[in-house]
Amino acid sequence: MLPWTALSLALSLRLALARSGAERGPPASAPQGDLLFLLDSSASVSHYEFSRVREFVGQLVGLLPLGPGALRASLVHVGSRPYTEFPFGQHSSGEAVQDAVRAAAQRMGDTNTGLALAYAKEQLFAEVAGARPGVPKVLVWVTDGGSSDPVGPPMQELKDLGVTVFIISTGRGNLLELSAAASAPAEKHLHFVDVDDLHIIAQELRGSILDAMRPQQLRASEVTSSGFHLAWPPLLTADSGYYVLELAPSSEPGTVRRQQLPGNATGWAWVNLDPDTDYEVALVPESNVHLVRPQHLRVHTLPEEAGPERIVISHARPRSLRVSWAPALSAAAVLGYHVQYGPLLGGAAQRVEVPAGRNSTTLQGLAPSTAYLVTVTAAFRSGSERALSAKACTPDGERSRAPRPQPPGAWGREP
């Protein structure tokens, strides 16, 4: 009887473990979310470039866990009008998504990216349009760098919904504009890559997408000098309880702000905060169905967005001069600078982009003996700007000087 007893115990143990696993359901770390690819399909992109981008997206899709109960993918073309190649939920496997990506044809037309972003918000990411509530949402925008319409406002609306934005620029896009459009920090969410080298970033981008799709705990993003966005995994449902969010400065724990949210919420934005301040955040799930532990987080807001100071003009030449300035006090919050200059008495203004780590530039192609108005503007991650202006004057050029007296006969004899 002893062997039968041992066998019975082993079977019982196996059944108990299987039942326990079934009750627990899928692992909490299984990635779930909606992933939207936004491709520049306009006439500004050559057929070769589009084919390389399409190949890259197909490669990236093959690296991701797509399927029912996991990641869903959609693809939208940017053109004169947005065009949905396939919506979320149409394809139930990674192989089917890859086949659909490879079959996508370029649409041509204008590069109306802002229109496509607004379309994505209303037609794809909205719950009324079929988007899954309570799951992370990610946008991957592949562009040659330009757009025929404004991108900033509709992109910010998507980020306000909690959408994580990755941007891959294959052209000469404006660094400041693209950095502001991508989710923060820009160095993690913005890539400048030649169209023939896109495969180099595939593994890194895959990891970043999965990180965004798997918020295992309370986390902060889009941190500025006056606020930040919070996200957390679905711990409750609308019927099982509600959340209480608590916020207090670390130096004043008694000054607590509270916000009650429904059980199906997975995000919230705190605004009107003090700059350069540590805040203690608590997410308290309240439920009569089951016990869920509170989660805690400390977030440091960025320093106040003070613009550049003390513009200095030096190395003035007839056709060039050097502009320097004291860096913005909140250097960590600065995306970069742009320097705009033009003649004081009228004329076309020009603009030079300067990376965040530099605080000087040389202006070339100026006119001799001309007064200029020079404006240095610091662009911040929050989307705001701070500017400072100064006057500068180029000296006389060689051609503007009076001719030197010539000795007799230097010009030849008169007939």
The model scores a pTM over 0.85: no
Average pLDDT of span 255-277: 92
Highest mean pLDDT among 228-237, 254-263, 404-413 belongs to 254-263
Instruction: Give the integer Cα–Cα distance in Å for 283 and 243.
Output: 7
Of 24, 39, 44, 190, the C-alpha closest to 116 is 39
Would you state the pLDDT for residue 318?
92
**% of the chain exceeding 90 in pLDDT:** 43
- Domain-wise residue ranges, the chain: 33-213, 216-301, 309-394
Query: Chain-wide mean pLDDT for the chain?
Result: 82
Name the more confident of 172 and 344.
Answer: 344
Q: What is the mean pLDDT of residues 85-106?
A: 90
Least confident of 28-32, 323-327, 344-348: 28-32
SS (H, E, C) the chain: CHHHHHHHHHHHHHHHHHHHHHHHCCCCCCCCEEEEEEEECCCCCCHHHHHHHHHHHHHHHHCCCECCCCEEEEEEEECCCCEEEECCCCCCCHHHHHHHHHCCCCCCCCCCHHHHHHHHHHHCCCHHHCCCCCCCEEEEEEECCCCCCCCHHHHHHHHHCCCEEEEEECCCCCHHHHHHHCCCCHHHHEEECCHHHHHHHHHHHHHHHHHHHCCCCCEEECCCCCCEEEECCCCCCCCCCEEEEEEEECCCCCCCEEEEEECCCCEEEECCCCCCCEEEEEEEEECCCCCCCCEEEEEECCCCCCCCEEEEEEEEECCEEEEEEECCCCHHHEEEEEEEEEECCCCCCEEEEEECCCCEEEEECCCCCCEEEEEEEEEECCCCEEEEEEEEECCCCHHHCCCCCCCCCCCCCCC
The CATH superfamily of 216-301 is Immunoglobulins (2.60.40.10)
Residue, of 326 and 12, whose pLDDT is higher: 326
pLDDT tens per residue across span 387-413: 888 899 999 875 444 455 555 554 444
Pick the CATH number of 309-394 from 1.10.3720.10, 3.90.25.10, 1.10.10.10, 2.60.40.10: 2.60.40.10
Fold matches, 216-301 and 309-394: yes
pLDDT-derived band at 49 (thresholds 50, 70, 90) equals very high
Residue 4 sits at φ, ψ, to 5 deg, of -65, -35
For the stretch 61-78, pLDDT in tens is: 999 988 877 888 999 999
Please determine, for residue 139, whether its predicted confidence score (pLDDT) is greater than 90. yes
Residue-level pLDDT at 116: 93
Q: How confident is the model at residue 200 (pLDDT cuts 50, 70, 90)?
A: very high
Considering the four listed CATH numbers 1.10.3720.10, 3.30.1490.20, 3.40.50.720, 3.40.50.410, the one that applies to the domain covering 33-213 is: 3.40.50.410
Q: Note the pLDDT of residue 380.
A: 78
Please check the confidence at residue 126 and state whether its pLDDT lies above 60.
yes
Distance CA 286, CA 100 (A): 43
Confidence bin at 16 (pLDDT 50/70/90): very low
Residue 304: the pLDDT is: 73
**Residue range 285-341, pLDDT digits in tens:** 999 887 888 999 999 988 776 667 788 898 899 999 999 988 765 556 677 888 999
